[in-house]
Amino acid sequence: MKSFEFHRPQSVDEAVAFLKAHDAAKLLAGGQSLLPVLKLDLAEPSDLLSLQKLSGLKGVQSDGDALVVGALTTHDEVARSAEVQKRIPGLAALASGIGDAQVRNRGTLGGSVAHADPSADYPAAVVALNATVSTDRRKIAADDFFTGLFATALAADEIVTEVRFPVPEKAGYAKFPHPASKYAIVGVFVAKTAGGVRVAVTGAGAKVFRLPAVESALGAKFTADAVPTVTAASLAGAALRSEGGSPEYVANLITVMARRAVQACG
């Protein structure tokens, strides 16, 4: 691992100013994705900026018809939050299934969405719940946030500050986890709101994607047996990753996880 300078900025503005002045600097949140990347020499930042002093980025708040989760909130804090368990239990369940206890105690929501790992769990919730990602300078709609494999709409010097999740009528998540890491081989998040149903798949493709045919079927009848069989042909635009198995196998996993996600809505 190449050596780097370590900093603890005291404010978001200070961190952004540093990033603007140092092209090769990187933010450090929980380190659960960045440190493995550094150990593998896949990135060689000149400076690491720990976000840990920015306590304003931590915590869960109810705000009218939404839950607002600070970027530095750990997966464990989301899983244990009474507000999340009461208002979006499917989101609490998703957070409780990320990695292991160590990963959940260090890893953060902001780090997860900024890293945009194709097998991460949160992107499915962000897209299915039609969340809004706030940064130091703007608000980004979920459908515009994840742009590709480990790629987002964020600029290199932009900091995620919070994610606003509209509270749905019902929501549920089901994943087929990798047996060692618990990352999603396929994960499906289903959310039902007054405006319709949104269904998002993580793990299978280069980035999270929605299933319009399943959304309209569940909009007509919200039961597990109403989920139509997802075919490999219908996933042609999803840039499926070969790690998950053949397209037919992945399509079957998506069908099964979508049905389980509806059942998980209770």
Ligand X SMILES: Cc1cc2nc3c(=O)[nH]c(=O)nc-3n(C[C@H](O)[C@H](O)[C@H](O)COP(=O)(O)OP(=O)(O)OC[C@H]3O[C@@H](n4cnc5c(N)ncnc54)[C@H](O)[C@@H]3O)c2cc1C
Q: Which residues bind ligand X (CB under 6 A)?
A: 26-34, 36, 51, 71, 98-99, 103, 106-108, 110-112, 114-115, 117, 120-122, 159-160, 181-183
Residue with smaller CB distance to ligand X, 157 or 215: 157
- Other residues' Cβ atoms within 10 Å of the Cβ of residue 136: 15
Residue with smaller CB distance to ligand X, 9 or 168: 9
Q: How far apart are CA 74 and CA 244, in angstroms?
A: 27
Sort strands 47-50 and 60-63 into parallel, antiparallel or unpaired. Answer: unpaired
Residue with smaller CB distance to ligand X, 61 or 181: 181
Residue with smaller CB distance to ligand X, 90 or 227: 90
Report DSSP state, residue 230. Answer: P
**Token duo for residue 87:** 């208002």
Residue with smaller CB distance to ligand X, 2 or 221: 2
Minimum distance, C-beta of residue 119 to ligand X, in the bound complex (Å): 7
Minimum distance, C-beta of residue 24 to ligand X, in the bound complex (Å): 12
Minimum distance, C-beta of residue 196 to ligand X, in the bound complex (Å): 26
Residue with smaller CB distance to ligand X, 141 or 236: 141
Q: How far apart are CA 258 and CA 106, in angstroms?
A: 29
Q: How far apart are CA 9 and CA 158, in angstroms?
A: 14
Measured CA angle at 101 (ends 95, 106), to 5 deg: 75
Minimum distance, C-beta of residue 249 to ligand X, in the bound complex (Å): 20
DSSP 24-65: TEEEESS-TTHHHHHHTTS---SEEEE-TT-GGG--EEEETT
Minimum distance, C-beta of residue 28 to ligand X, in the bound complex (Å): 5
**Token duo for residue 260:** 């389980």
Burial 167-189 (b: 16+ CB within 10 A, else e): bbebbbbbbbbeeeebbbbbbbb
Residue with smaller CB distance to ligand X, 10 or 225: 10
Minimum distance, C-beta of residue 107 to ligand X, in the bound complex (Å): 2
C-alpha distance from residue 203 to each of 119, 183, 188 (Å): 4, 8, 9
Minimum distance, C-beta of residue 168 to ligand X, in the bound complex (Å): 20
